[in-house]
């Protein structure tokens, strides 16, 4: 029987070891393994067990067509047409954290602040979903559009997904760049009209030699994030 200590250690190793993966080996990821990971992820809680999420797993020629369409539109300056609201730009502490992760990634990739060519190549890499062999597009039932709970539930399943994948040796990066050009994704991933595109997740076997994969991002402290009430009095 597995002891509670073993379970705690295994859980901690997944949660603390996981990081976003932005460089992949080209190796095939078996469909059965992806289904296993998704089945684990779908143990995530959802409001009233509504499970509004659906997944379209894209690979091969269809994913290449999405990469190409995303790249062409980005180079042509086509504005984002993502299907959920996002802040145009962050300010204050949020902006600082955004800059913080960019600095860590650029330092790892040896991209200088004023190197416009390398920076653009990095952005395009994101639009190509980091050349991952698999992209999982998360959608939810359009009938729930405007309901804040549905994206919340999708966030829960996505967190469960990246951790379940990590427990099987697979790397992921949640990637909003990949779904910014919604018509491209809709066409090549054949997303049904009754689905709203929430997010995509690039997935594959991590390339251990890719420097950005070693980046461990910072977290705000417990003191900064948590307020305990009724404990010390």
Ligand X SMILES: Cc1cc2nc3c(=O)[nH]c(=O)nc-3n(C[C@H](O)[C@H](O)[C@H](O)COP(=O)(O)O)c2cc1C
Cβ proximity to ligand X: between 193 and 213 the closer is 213
Which is it for the CA torsion 36, 41, 44, 48, positive or negative? Answer: negative
Q: Which of 123, 78, 80, 107 is nearest to 215 (CA)?
A: 107
Which positions ≥6 away from 206 have C-beta within 8 Å?
21, 23, 24, 25, 170, 171, 213
Cβ proximity to ligand X: between 59 and 213 the closer is 213
Q: How many positions of this chain bind ligand X (CB under 6 A)?
A: 12
Cβ proximity to ligand X: between 160 and 173 the closer is 173
Residue 101 interacts with ligand X (CB under 6 A)?
Answer: yes
Residue 13 interacts with ligand X (CB under 6 A)?
Answer: no
Cβ proximity to ligand X: between 28 and 168 the closer is 168
Tell me the window of 41-49, 75-83, 146-154, 169-177 that interacts with ligand X (CB under 6 A): 169-177
Q: Are 58 and 137 in contact (CB under 8 A)?
A: yes
Which positions ≥6 away from 98 have C-beta within 8 Å?
90
Of 36-95, binders to ligand X (CB under 6 A) are none
Residue 177 interacts with ligand X (CB under 6 A)?
Answer: yes
Would you tell me which residues interact with ligand X (CB under 6 A)? 19-20, 22, 101, 126, 173-177, 199, 217
């Amino acid at each position: 029987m597995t002891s509670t200590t073993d379970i705690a250690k295994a859980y901690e190793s997944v949660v603390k070891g996981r990081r976003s993966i932005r460089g992949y080996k080209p190796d095939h990821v078996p469909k059965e393994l992806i289904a296993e990971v998704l089945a684990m992820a779908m143990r995530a809680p959802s409001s009233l067990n509504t499970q509004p999420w659906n997944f379209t797993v894209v690979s091969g020629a269809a994913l290449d067509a999405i990469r190409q369409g995303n790249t062409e539109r980005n180079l042509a300056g086509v504005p984002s047409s993502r299907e959920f609201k996002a802040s145009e730009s962050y300010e204050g502490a949020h902006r600082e954290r955004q800059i913080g992760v960019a600095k860590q990634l650029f330092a790892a990739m040896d991209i200088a602040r004023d190197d416009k060519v390398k920076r653009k190549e990095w952005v395009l890499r994101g639009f190509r979903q980091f050349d991952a062999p698999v992209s999982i597009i998360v959608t939810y039932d359009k009938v729930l559009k405007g309901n804040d709970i549905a994206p919340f539930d999708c966030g829960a399943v996505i967190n469960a997904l990246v951790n379940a994948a990590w427990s099987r040796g697979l790397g992921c990066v949640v990637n909003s760049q990949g779904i910014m050009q919604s018509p491209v994704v809709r066409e090549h991933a054949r997303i049904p009209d009754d689905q709203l595109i929430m997010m995509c997740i690039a997935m594959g076997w991590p390339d251990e030699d890719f420097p950005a994969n070693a980046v461990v991002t910072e977290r705000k402290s417990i003191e900064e994030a948590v307020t305990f009430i009724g404990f010390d009095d």
